[in-house]
Amino acid sequence: MSAAGRLRRYLQELGYRLTEISQKYMPDHLQVSLILTVIAFVMALLWGGEGGTFCDPITIILAWGKGFWVLLTFAMQMCIILLTGYIIAVSPPVDKILAKLAKLPNPEKPWQAIFLMGLVANILAFINWGLSIVGAAIFTIYIVREQPKVDFRLLLATAYLGLGTTWHMGLSASAPLMVTKPELYPGFSELFPEAIPTTRTIFTPWNILIFLFTLFFTSGFMAAMHPPPEKAVTIPPERLKYVEKWEPPEKPPKEKMTIADKINWWPGWGVIFFIGMVIWCIWYFFGLPGFAGGAKGFAGLNLNTINFIFLFAGLLLHWYPVSFCNAAMSGASRIWGIVIEFPIYAGIFGILRYTYLAEAIVQAFVAISTPRSYPLFVYWACGILNYFVPSGGSEWIITAPIIIPAGRQLGVSDATITLVYAWGDMMTDQIQPFWAIALCEITGVRFREMMGYCVAVWIPYMVYMSIYCLIIPLTL
């Protein structure tokens, strides 16, 4: 057997064994959020006081409760993006496109389907992390339909790549976008006297280069792990309900339609409101003569704008409002995990934000840093924090006042620290079930079923990103 063949056989065995272990020992994602809350509580008890000292339990409980509801707006945004993304994906025009794309790989070579999924997930994440959450999840349904021999667990882990490895390198990267307008965020005007343009972060050759490497490396790595036919786990019969093709409701005969029916089935609603949405988007992104505001460019692409576009695009693509509502009812059953678990993670955020625990973790890494090693320690410190606060913007608000001044003292530029923070914020995403909630709800998979493959790709990803942090210029 050639060296390449032996390497592939090793990767296949690695992914298979890790997945066996995770299925045996890894609890479901709801229980993971509860376990992480307990761990955060214990850590705060030991180091959550000022200066990294003991913190009394009542203070921690109050911090936990204070943070519990801070993500309500974000949770609602996530529910809408998941719901509207599902509505668009099952609309007749998009259904045909996704079905044709899913037929491109050779059914006898399931690794090709995995590689395609990796490219789709990573590219969508670079464009916008919200698009990747729902787009990759929906695309898995079409891959399963057209590629019956693909390993279902590996496919889902690959669909998670965008959120785990590339989103904070892309156009919706929280920290690099926040520092372009620091006056919009509490305390950032004083912390960043001058805005940092994306040409010094997202669009630097260093960031683009590592994105392209990650795009092909992670996709190829996952494809190489596809198990042989005798070990592949295809979708079981009880899961078929999650990938059944959604069918639009049948339109009643014209002669039997009441006035109410004609209003409900009138396609003009979608056309009118889609035109209104397009006009607003033109003003918002590019500006309109005679109308103030707008012209926000790429920086204006956020969850609210995506949801706004998705909502009326879905209404138009379904053509008939009744079809749109029927698809919405079908998709609504898939958002319960977000509703329940986001407040739990917000409680963890409260423990870190309203005690001194986050500061203690970061300061411990800063204390042992040199100018050359500082980016690496920022990467690791923020990666550890990310496992407990899996929200790039929230964690940046917590850590920026600590790591930015320390970096200046060591001669590391704000732009370099911001970019390294963005990479570090993704460091543990691939093995954190928070962002997989939507993926799990759409496909019916349990996180532990894909966790082994996630760990397998996370190890080399974490290693080469750590090395990259050691060579990145300190003065971007």
Of 280, 270, 272, give the one whose Cα is nearest residue 305: 280
Of 462, 397, 468, give the one whose Cα is nearest residue 165: 462
Q: Are 323 and 267 in contact (CB under 8 A)?
A: no
91: buried, middle or exposed (CB in 10 Å: 19+, 13-18, 0-12)? buried
Q: Provide the phi-psi class of 171: left if phi over 0, else alpha when psi is between -120 and 50, else beta.
A: alpha
Of 156, 232, 236, give the one whose Cα is nearest residue 433: 156
Ranges of the chain with pLDDT below 50: none
pLDDT of res. 421? 93
The C-alpha atoms of residue 95 and residue 245 are separated, in whole angstroms, by 9
Half-sphere exposure of 313 (CA within 13 A, CB side): 19
pLDDT of res. 182? 81
Of 167, 156, 173, 144, give the one whose Cα is nearest residue 118: 156
The C-alpha atoms of residue 113 and residue 105 are separated, in whole angstroms, by 5
Q: What is the DSSP string of 226-253?
A: PPPTTT--PPPGGGHHHHSPP-PPPPPP
Q: Are 374 and 416 in contact (CB under 8 A)?
A: no
Kindly state the greatest CA–CA separation across the chain: 79
Ranges of each domain in the chain: 3-247+320-471
Of 32, 38, 82, 36, give the one whose Cα is nearest residue 338: 82
Of 316, 321, 416, 323, give the one whose Cα is nearest residue 376: 416
